[in-house]
Structure 1
Amino acid sequence: MLLAFAIRKRKPHSVFFYGVGAGIAFYTVFMTQSRGGLVAGLLVPGIYIVRRWGLKSAIPAVIVALPVLMLGGRSGESADQSTQERYEAWATGLTMFKGNPIFGVGARQFAEHHYLTAHNTFVLCMGELGFPGLLLFIAILYLSFKSLIVGLRELRHVPGSEVATTWGLALLASMAGIVFQINTLSFAYHSVMWIFFALVGAWCSAVQYHMPSFRVRMTWRDFFIVVGLTLGFIFVILPLFLRSKGY
């Protein structure tokens, strides 16, 4: 979001302070030694780069990012133990789902069945809220991205839409970073997650107010895509990944 402020406020002193803020935020993530956090942090400006220069620009961007990822991540026994504990929690979440596929074990009850939280928002929703809960969560994510992508596409050739485009792209980049990071965080009930959902909704409402023709609907095609993503995660992606890790 700081990038959007810097783009909107092009005065040198404003750009400087926003740059300092972004630098502090990234350095904080770097000091956590979390590779997932670093990838999420680099993914945000990466969205801007790809939108500005196309997919070809992703290759040099990845080359530049690799040294940061190699130097910033944790290593050693503590990192390996943390990773194994996370995989164990994911396997436990899958077991919870198998025992309670419809309703799950209940909201905020994961820790009652395992000594750690899920460390994965999708696993947390699956284990605690069952298939309907995970389906609805993925549907919200899907509609958020669809709304932003469709909105930015329709605004591309609309005169005077620079402000809406700037904030829409900022939200898209932020959501991309969030979605990547929630694969290792239990973020299902975190206020930050839902604040961003609300910001996407507010952005869509603002665009629709000035452009009444703007509409984003959940079509049957979208519904089947969401169902496919949900089933694929539960019965294909997660089990195969855990099996490859020995769980």
Structure 2
Amino acid sequence: MFTLSLIYLALTIVRPQDFVPALEGIPLLPVVLLLAFAAWMIRAGKSFDAPQFLLLPVFLLVGMVSMVANHWFGGALALLESFGPIVIAFFVFAAACTTPRRVTIAMAVFVLCACVLAQHSIVQANTGTGWTGVPLGEDGRVRYVGIFNDPNDVGLLFAATLPMAFFLSSGGGFLRRLWWLAAAALLLYGVYLTNSRGAMLAVLVVGGIFVWQRRGMFTAGVLGVLGLVVMRLLSSRMQELDPDESSAFGRVDAWYEGMHMFFSNPLLGVGPGNFTDYNQLTAHNSWILVLAETGFLGYTLWLAFTSYGFWMMVTVMRHQPEAAGEPVRAGTWKSERAIAFTLLLSLYGLFAAAFFLSRSYTVVMYLLIALVVGHYMGARQRWPGVPLLRLTDHWMRWLAVSVASIVALYVITTILLIGS
């Protein structure tokens, strides 16, 4: 099952089925996912000790009900066909990655696949066309095939995998460290080539949180300001980072329209994928997109699903085995915490970019959260003192957080509109 999961991950990111003529029409992804799911089904001792295993299927169900409520019965089946495989992939990948070794291998596959896209970006930037046959975008920004045809999606992947590359470079001999540091440099250059403001800000967020943990808030703040200045010098699009800029104003206007879609359909929204039926541009914000399309019910489920990932990694990092009376072998708990911190940084990178993009349903997000869930469940098996997070203990909290975040999104949108 683990090997099949890694193959599915590689096919999802590198996507040879989208540019190799010999593979055209062959359902590689569905077949590999089906085989992995079959292996998961016959596996003994399945564990569902994570709230996401309930939240994600219910989120899918709410999305389907939303489609029906918006008078499109066929849309419910279309959503099941498009998002159902993501739910299955989440279950399988989370179950497959529960040991430090497997989590580390999965991170290595994430990084190597991202590096393939980064190398493609370099070729594309230098020649005008990548080896997939995909040319530069009209705005001169690099892109890939399939779900990574948008430069922002490519940048999001680079930002999310960058912490993994640095983690992989922290152990082993000189050549291994050099290899993964080179991979990190390649990913950083890839972010530059995408010219994605969201991805650049995500890298800044990741770096800031890392420095904050290591050197304190003051140092992180100073370096963050310097980093922002450097990014504005390097990127023409970062120099246009202003609410009055046409692209930024269009995004804020889309946020405003998304909030009004929610107000007109507060419980179930306008239906997944239907945002552009009501507004020319998509939401350009993953939170507002879910809120507008699935209403309060879907938004609360999605918010809890994604936020639990952060909570889980912080829970692992804060656990003290000695205080819980658990025997600690040399280096074992340090490794657990290092992995948890790396995955936490990846989550921050992913969602910092997703705040400016409509990527609420992208498979990469759910595979990363599956890796987080897998590490959390494995850590609890190895260290029983790690607290178990139960949805039944927190559902009132999520309702309150959901309401507060909706108010915050509305206030931010209103202020940006007034300021522009």
2 CA distance for matches of 1:179 and 1:189? 12
Instruction: Give the structure 1 partner of residue 295 of structure 2.
Output: 130
2 CA distance for matches of 1:109 and 1:17? 44
Contact 1:101 1:131 in 2 (8 A): yes
Counterpart residue type for residue 238 of structure 1: L
Counterpart residue type for residue 171 of structure 2: R
Normalised to the residue count of structure 2, the TM-score between the two structures is: 0.54
Contact 2:204 2:228 in 1 (8 A): no
1:2 aligns with 2:165: yes
Shift of 1:155: 5.1
- Which is worse superposed, 213-222 or 171-180? 213-222
2 CA distance for matches of 1:124 and 1:177? 19
Instruction: Give the structure 2 partner of residue 241 of structure 1.
Output: 412
Counterpart residue type for residue 290 of structure 2: C
1:143 aligns with 2:143: no
Question: Cα gap change, 1:87/1:128 in structure 2, threshold over 3 Å: closer, same or farther?
Answer: same
Structure 1 counterpart SS, 2:169: helix
Q: How do 1:102-181 residues align onto structure 2 when only pairs under 5 Å count?
A: 102-154=267-319, 158-159=328-329, 160-181=332-353
Shift of 1:167: 1.2
Shift of 1:233: 2.7
Question: Cα gap change, 1:76/1:3 in structure 2, threshold over 3 Å: closer, same or farther?
Answer: closer
Shift of 1:100: 0.7
Counterpart residue type for residue 55 of structure 1: M
Cα deviation code 1:70-117 (max 9, x no counterpart): 223514599921111111211111111111111111111112222221
Contact 1:35 1:69 in 2 (8 A): no
Counterpart residue type for residue 69 of structure 1: M
2:177 to 12, 15, 28: 15
Contact 1:119 1:183 in 2 (8 A): yes
Contact 2:208 2:221 in 1 (8 A): no
1 CA distance for matches of 2:410 and 2:381? 45
Structure 2 counterpart SS, 1:246: helix
Question: Cα gap change, 1:153/1:14 in structure 2, threshold over 3 Å: closer, same or farther?
Answer: same
1:209 to 349, 357, 381: 381
Contact 1:150 1:216 in 2 (8 A): no
- Which is worse superposed, 205-214 or 154-163? 154-163
Counterpart residue type for residue 180 of structure 2: Y
**How much is the aligned-residue C-alpha RMSD, in angstroms?**
2.4
Q: What is the count of residue pairs matched by the alignment?
A: 245
Instruction: Give the structure 2 partner of residue 36 of structure 1.
Output: 198
1:230 to 386, 399, 402: 402
2:209 to 27, 31, 47: 47
- Which is worse superposed, 70-79 or 28-37? 70-79
Counterpart residue type for residue 67 of structure 1: V
Shift of 1:220: 7.3
Shift of 1:244: 2.2
Instruction: Give the structure 2 partner of residue 91 of structure 1.
Output: 256
Contact 1:118 1:124 in 2 (8 A): yes
Question: Cα gap change, 1:63/1:117 in structure 2, threshold over 3 Å: closer, same or farther?
Answer: closer
Question: Cα gap change, 1:175/1:76 in structure 2, threshold over 3 Å: closer, same or farther?
Answer: closer
1 CA distance for matches of 2:232 and 2:385? 47
Contact 1:7 1:166 in 2 (8 A): no
2:220 to 40, 53, 58: 58
Percentage identity across aligned positions? Answer: 26
Shift of 1:6: 0.8
2 CA distance for matches of 1:102 and 1:212? 39
Contact 2:268 2:295 in 1 (8 A): yes
Instruction: Give the structure 2 partner of residue 182 of structure 1.
Output: 354
Question: Cα gap change, 1:149/1:121 in structure 2, threshold over 3 Å: closer, same or farther?
Answer: same
Question: Cα gap change, 1:65/1:77 in structure 2, threshold over 3 Å: closer, same or farther?
Answer: closer
Normalised to the residue count of structure 1, the TM-score between the two structures is: 0.89
2 CA distance for matches of 1:238 and 1:51? 28
1 CA distance for matches of 2:321 and 2:230? 33
Which segments of 5 or more consecutive residues in structure 2 lack a partner in the other structure? Answer: 1-163, 323-327
Cα deviation code 1:107-149 (max 9, x no counterpart): 1111222222111000010010000111111112221111111
Counterpart residue type for residue 245 of structure 1: L
1 CA distance for matches of 2:171 and 2:180? 11
